[in-house]
Amino acid sequence: MSTTTAPGPGADVYDYLHTIAARNSKTVRRVVVAPLSDPGSYFSAHVTIEYATGRSDELFFKDLSRSYRPKEDLGARRDREVHVYRNLLADAGLGTAALVDVRQDPVTGQYWLLLEGLPGTIIEDANDRLGVEAVSWLGRMQGHFVSRAADLIDDGYLIQHDYGFFRAPLEKGMLQVEYLAPDSSHQFRALAATYDAVAELLANQPRTLVHGGFIPWHIIVDTTVPQPRISAVDWELAAAGSPLFDLAYFTHWANPDARTSMYAAYRLAAEAHGVPLPPGDEMRRIMAGFRLYRTVAWLSQSSDHGFSPTKVAKLVRRASRLSDDLLA
């Protein structure tokens, strides 16, 4: 992950947090705001509210007003994240952070999200044993929403993982390859010739709630309790789509042995919670399709991410291998 130095919170943040604290008690002793050293795309901070009674509340503050990194559809992303916390996860009993408050001020442009502060740490490495816990939780979460597929498809906040979604990065990916690694253009054109069938395959999978950015460092795990509490954060790319989308993304970061363990744990949890999954060989084929989509999407963002020609050529080779696997 890249590291971004976070600024300190302004007086308006402290005023807001004092107002929130006063809802529960008139005897607030102090408010402590500890900015994250690596806040990701937004200013984020752990908040401790201490009361004169000796009680304290732990919260998480996220400033969605602006992003440190360029993002398309910033307004839609933040509205989507709030919608997921407020309307989809609130009563799901999945262990995710509770929504405490949202502040929107059209005059100042403020858009602040305040969540329950979660104990635990992020998963630093998908090969860690906690990766198995994460994908097991994923299967349980998907099972909660799989019966609501029709509502998710009609949900105006969620991204729809349809044919257009999976087809979208192909043309831009081609332009990026031609510009940054022209010697790899012929290889990319070859896989592009069969990519429409891949987009159709991925779009025609059963639907459930998809996190959209299910990567290790978006998963918080509390191991201090008998049954580890798993919570996914950063729902700005939430979608209605295939259960296998998030699994493919998370296990991309794992080695083959860890990936095999996670596949087994995921299938056990997903099937126990009613998630429809294809047989093993077909599942591996579909997973290769999702990894191919992800690689093409990365290629389409090559300039934004500052990829070198060598990196672009490597991604094209990976995409080509995945395409060959799908055609085999």
In this structure, are 146 and 295 located in the same domain? yes
In this structure, are 226 and 151 located in the same domain? yes
CATH number of the domain within which 78 lies: 3.30.200
Give me the pLDDT at residue 7, please: 54
Strand order in the sheet with 43-51: 28-35, 43-51, 56-63, 110-116, 99-105
Nearest Cα to Cα of residue 59 among 137, 113, 139: 113
pLDDT tens for each residue of 163-202: 999 999 999 999 999 999 999 999 999 999 999 999 999 9
CATH number of the domain within which 205 lies: 3.90.1200.10
Cβ-contact 161, 290 below 8 angstroms: no
Helix axes 309-327, 280-300, angle to 10 degrees: 150
In this structure, are 201 and 253 located in the same domain? yes
- Count of alpha carbons within 13 angstroms of residue 99, beta-carbon side: 19
In this structure, are 258 and 138 located in the same domain? yes
Nearest Cα to Cα of residue 206 among 290, 140, 146: 146
Give me the pLDDT at residue 17, please: 85
Give me the pLDDT at residue 66, please: 87
pLDDT band at 8 (very low <50, low <70, confident <90, very high): low
In this structure, are 81 and 134 located in the same domain? no
pLDDT band at 28 (very low <50, low <70, confident <90, very high): confident
pLDDT band at 3 (very low <50, low <70, confident <90, very high): very low
Give me the pLDDT at residue 127, please: 87
How many structural domains compose the chain?
Answer: 2
Instruction: Tell me which DSSP letter residue 255 carries.
Output: -
Q: Where among 116, 149, 174 does a domain terminate?
A: 116
In this structure, are 264 and 137 located in the same domain? yes
φ, ψ of residue 108 to 5 degrees: the values are: -90, -15
Expressed as residue numbers, the domain containing 94 is 11-116
In a domain? residue 177: yes
pTM exceeding 0.75? yes
Give me the pLDDT at residue 55, please: 87
Q: Does residue 150 register a pLDDT over 50?
A: yes
For residue 51, the cross-strand partners are 28
